[in-house]
Structure 1
């Protein structure tokens, strides 16, 4: 039976930081075979992405790694009578940070497990759809800081920082990727380490971010530290169709923008200060916008009486000439 992953928090930096450097380098814990049992499960991406040969790690009293097979199934031997956090890394040929954008998180802590002395089957776990988190690093005057070192963490689990670079516009990206940013979801931590030297503090600065849509984090690095700005893209509003089936105009600030849906035509923008000429009027003796100066001559009654009088005068004139 499929179920959404659960994310509770009993293991944080204290437990993860307590793992020895040798343990992390080896990728396995210190438990002997007699003290181990198997935790298994199947990962399925909600986005429809293929979970294939992706890295799985389990951190607790000891640290263990493995990977999924081509169907997203995994088995990891862990120490008994302990608690573990399980994380998936979207990997490629054993390397973290696969340079693809498919809705599967690049790093995601998907389950916290209490292990007794027997095997544990987690069943099928659905990974939520991830969104792009862009990280931009600049100086106070807006200049990209390409020598800075950005990182991301999910519930304390990081990614390989040597797979990340900062491009000429200041955006963090995965090496070999044709896009900037990382696919993550829910609560993550952004880390920025300024370039080493005398100009900037020798420290790592962090910012917690909740990602539920495309998000941009801007880190402005100065001599005194880092200031953060987090912006999220607005959800696209549902369009309201008119009775004729055409989209309606939407006014924005000083400009009025008329948009059509899927017509292939370019949106038109009209300056709100632009005036439209008055509609010209037609009168008995004049045409144009100045006709109001002769408004009396445009009155139907006046025109009728005037026409009658002119007719009488014309008849009288002809009679006089004929006489």
Structure 2
């Protein structure tokens, strides 16, 4: 017997509202992003829940958490809206231009170079829309598990998810300090010496923290963590304010500025890592996603590598 669930699930707009609530993590923030009132969003979510016959989310410690049923509906909503997006792009191609939406979920540190990658691509395809979601490694992995986006960017890609990957760009992690810091006067520094200084560390779930902890474990050392900070930009400004030293991606310096900072000559650094683009092996890429992948492999990779090569701390 053919399922009639689709006759009750709701409208395309309700599915868009569902994804907004999931992505924003709250009814209020979803309403703001969609320019709707909070009661309107709540009503539409309740209608979807009634149609399914199960709650789509619950509140745990005042935080909105999707149920297993809700997450399954999110996956279906992504597939449905992607189908219409592909149709939109196909019709656009028939009119001799490409349109639609490119969805990217990237880890926080990559936000410094991703806009420089998107700029030339959007010039080539001015009619497309970009949906860029920025989070830490754990948040981006969760989005990848749900198949929400076209591409995901990691410095340390997950190994337990079936996906295609492209090693895209070098991502050296370097030690930085204020130019007046005592370590800045030394011509060579050991990792053990670095660990003695007050250290500014990224939050748990960050790819940068994962790489630093792996290096320290390898050398049986522990950092003297003075502060845990959830933003590379905040870490840079804290180092500029002489609150401590840190290890961050060279890309943060290339595209984010480096006033008053010096790169420390630590024997065991830089930590060699790379940026990876990943995409689902079970999800058919849209036309725009295919065009973006070609851009990544050709012009984009060369453009960003040249920028990184030119950048160096004095």
Name the TM-score, length of structure 2 as normaliser: 0.24
Which structure has the larger Rg? 1
Of structures 1 and 2, the one with the larger relative CO (CA 8 A, separation 6+) is: 2
Q: Which one has a larger percent helix, Structure 1 or Structure 2? A: 2
